[in-house]
Amino acid sequence: MSSNEPTSDEHRSPYVANQTAHPWRRMVSIGDSFTEGIGDPIPGTTLHRGWADRVAEVLGSHVDDFA
């Protein structure tokens, strides 16, 4: 199956309206401590990981040159 084709209904997430590959190659997040993840510790560390990092990881997992 091509990455541009929707997945079968049994594997489809009810939270994603369209499971085709996204066209974006870049992501910019402008924000403050909320965007940075202050208060969202990575379990077992003293580091933080915000929503922008988490979204970028998911978007980048499907596009080779995503930045």
Q: How confident is the model over 11-41, as pLDDT tens digits? A: 667 777 776 777 778 989 998 998 888 988 8
Q: Taking the model in full, what pTM does it have?
A: 0.59
| Cα–Cα dist 18/60, whole Å | 17
Domains of the chain, by residue range, sit at 22-67
Task: Judge whether residue 1 has pLDDT over 50.
Answer: no
Cβ atoms 25, 67 nearer than 8 A:
yes
If one compares 23 and 10, the residue with the highest pLDDT of the two is 23
